[in-house]
């Protein structure tokens, strides 16, 4: 096993769950090795059980420790390498950050289903159900509320970059892909996430990735 932690992820073009811990680690300068398993191909199914007990990505290996699920990895990284900086220092801000992160982790089913992450995709007038439109409105309301409360502390949701931003980064990419209308405050936040060097590196890596057929169907 490498002396560095190893993060096992899926195709960068599609894997929103993989993006979250990857972006968090990169943004905080945590050195790690990356193993990418392309989605929807025999290699993925042949190898994933060697790394993950769930058969899913992402999963983090840190020596003998295995951590799976994006939010669990973020919490582990926060304790192991970030010195608590993944969450805001102030109790009220930390409570909000944890709440909106958990909400993203467990909710937004219609948004995930109808606007799946596909970094290379660009469409206009994408049809969305009432449920998906409600999810979109809720995500934008979260952004506006957090920025209204803590925007003077920095350009991210709670001021400084943290776990909450990593959790919502795939939503930014979905909104870009499906041309979701944003007001000026929402656009400013989205642009802040897109401008991160780590995000630019992630997007650059998607350009030549192979198409994953199951992820492209009806999308």
Q: 164 and 208: one domain?
A: no
DSSP category for residue 3: S
- 3-class DSSP string for 138-192: HHHHHHHHHHHHHHHHCCECCECCCHHHHHHHHHHHHHHHCCCCCCHHHHHHHHH
Work out how many domains the chain is built from and give that number: 2
For residue 103, with 0-12 CB atoms within 10 Å meaning exposed, 13-18 middle and 19 or more buried, which class applies? middle
- Residue-wise pLDDT for 67-98, tens only, equals 999 999 999 999 999 999 999 999 999 999 99
Residue 111 lies in a domain: yes
| CA contacts within 13 A on the Cβ side of 216 | 12
Q: Which tokens belong to 144?
A: 């506006």
Indicate whether 17 and 99 sit together in one domain. no
Q: Are residues 98 and 182 in the same domain?
A: yes
Q: What span, in angstroms and rounded, lies between the C-alpha atoms of 204 and 183?
A: 27
Residue 146 CB-half CA count within 13 A: 30
CATH code of the domain covering residue 15 = 3.40.30.10
Q: Are residues 113 and 196 in the same domain?
A: yes
pLDDT at 215: 58
**Residue span of the structural domain in which 133 resides:** 91-200
Question: What tens digit of pLDDT does each residue of 165-213 get?
Answer: 999 999 999 999 999 999 999 999 999 999 999 999 999 999 988 887 6
Q: Tell me: the pLDDT tens digits for 11-51? A: 999 999 999 999 999 999 999 999 999 887 778 877 888 88
Same domain, yes or no: 187 and 115: yes
How much is the mean pLDDT over the chain?
94
Residue 43: name the closest of 210, 218, 207, 206 by CA: 210
Closest of 12, 9, 6, 7 to residue 204, by C-alpha: 12
The CATH number assigned to the domain holding 120 equals 1.20.1050.10
Whole-structure pTM value: 0.93
Residues 98 and 194 in one domain: yes
Whether 104 and 192 map to the same domain: the answer is yes
pLDDT interval class at 218 (50, 70, 90): very low
Q: For residue 131, tell me if it sits in a domain.
A: yes
Out of 28-32, 51-55, 141-145, least confident range: 51-55
pLDDT at 42: 78
Q: Are residues 17 and 55 in the same domain?
A: yes
């Amino acid at each position: 096993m490498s002396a560095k932690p190893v993060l096992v992820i899926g195709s960068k073009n599609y894997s929103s769950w993989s993006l979250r811990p990857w972006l968090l680690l990169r943004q905080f300068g945590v050195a790690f090795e990356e193993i990418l398993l392309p989605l929807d191909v025999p290699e993925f199914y042949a190898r994933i059980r060697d790394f993950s007990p769930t058969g899913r990505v992402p999963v983090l290996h840190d020596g003998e420790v295995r951590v799976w699920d994006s939010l669990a990895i973020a919490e582990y990284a926060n304790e192991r390498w970030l010195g608590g900086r993944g969450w805001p220092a102030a109790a009220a801000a930390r409570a909000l950050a944890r709440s909106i992160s958990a909400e993203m982790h467990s909710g937004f089913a219609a948004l995930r289903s109808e606007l799946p992450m596909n970094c290379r995709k660009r469409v206009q007038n994408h049809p969305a159900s009432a449920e998906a439109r409600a999810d979109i409105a809720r995500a934008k309301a979260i952004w506006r509320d957090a920025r209204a409360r803590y925007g003077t502390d920095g350009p991210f949701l709670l001021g400084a970059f943290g776990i909450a931003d990593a959790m919502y980064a795939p939503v930014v990419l979905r909104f870009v892909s499906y041309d979701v209308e944003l007001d000026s405050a929402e656009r400013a936040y989205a642009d802040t996430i897109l401008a991160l060097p780590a995000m630019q590196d992630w997007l650059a890596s998607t350009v030549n990735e192979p198409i994953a057929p199951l992820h492209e169907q009806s999308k």
